[in-house]
Amino acid sequence: MERIPVIEIFGPTIQGEGMVIGQKTMFVRTAGCDYRCRWCDSSFTWDGSAKDEVKQMTAEDIWQQLKQLGGDRFNHVTISGGNPALLKGLRALISLLKEHNMRIGLETQGSVWQDWFYDIDDLTISPKPPSSNMETNFTMLDTIMERLTAHRGHVSLKVVVFNDEDFSYATYVHQRYPSVPFYVQVGNDHIHEADDVILRLNLLQKLEWLVDKVVQSKEMNNVRVLPQLHTLLWGNRRGV
């Protein structure tokens, strides 16, 4: 059976971001990413700093670990990373989770397509704005959005915003795919801050700034503004 590189499994917690914010869920975080975002809050998935924690797991191993942690207290599993879309082998995990009547969320940046995207219940595509230093491949993103919107699945776009230039990028992406539910998310530029009080204050100020940007924009009448709820609650800790 094909193995999946997993760096952490945690929960039950709540989905802190995006289209199903507040949903009770377990998390499976895969290792490896094709991007290197300047402000990545999960850089341990790709920078080698946690390489000893990566386990090559089968779908059944992952399910056993989820059950051990969550017992009967969950029916939703979110797959994130890193970029889980790099892993063809996730198909087996998705099938197994479906057999166990789980709903499945997945977070990816829209740089790679997988046919198993069709089987995700809550799929978040999160293209990266200029502050990340990454470049969006809009040909690939067009393909992905075309395939997904032709399909009944539950998909959304989520752009993290740190500055005015990012907000312009978010506006552009929203206008390019106007029929897709669109979220702007507060960027956390204090990913090493250990004092939760300082962090919260900073993030709430950024949230107020972002709400104002949306309020003032005639192109952003149909978007939702969200913080990272888990960061407001639990700061920069891992595994929450």
Q: Binding site residues for Mg(2+), as ranges?
A: 42
Site residues, ligand 2KA (CB under 6 A): 13-17, 27, 42, 80, 107, 230, 240
- Cβ distance 117 to 148 under 8 Å? yes
Residue 13 interface partner, choices ligand 2KA, ligand SAM, ligand SF4, none, CB cut-off 5-8 Å depending on type: ligand 2KA
Among 13, 42, 136, 171, binds ligand SF4 (CB under 6 A): 42
Is residue 82 involved in binding ligand SF4 (CB under 6 A)?
Answer: yes
- Cβ distance 156 to 124 under 8 Å? yes
- Name the residue among 64, 103, 107, 62 with its Cα closest to residue 83: 107
DSSP, res 81 = S
- Cβ distance 144 to 116 under 8 Å? no
Task: Name residues whose C-beta falls within 8 Å of residue 208's C-beta, 6 or more positions apart in sequence.
Answer: none
176 vs 191 by CB, closer to ligand 2KA: 191
Minimum CB distance to ligand SF4, residue 84 (Å): 9
Among 7, 37, 87, 104, binds ligand SF4 (CB under 6 A): 37
Residue 36 interface partner, choices ligand SAM, ligand 2KA, ligand SF4, none, CB cut-off 5-8 Å depending on type: ligand SF4
CA pair distance 179, 173, nearest whole angstrom: 11
CA pair distance 184, 161, nearest whole angstrom: 7
Residue 158 interface partner, choices ligand 2KA, ligand SF4, ligand SAM, none, CB cut-off 5-8 Å depending on type: ligand SAM
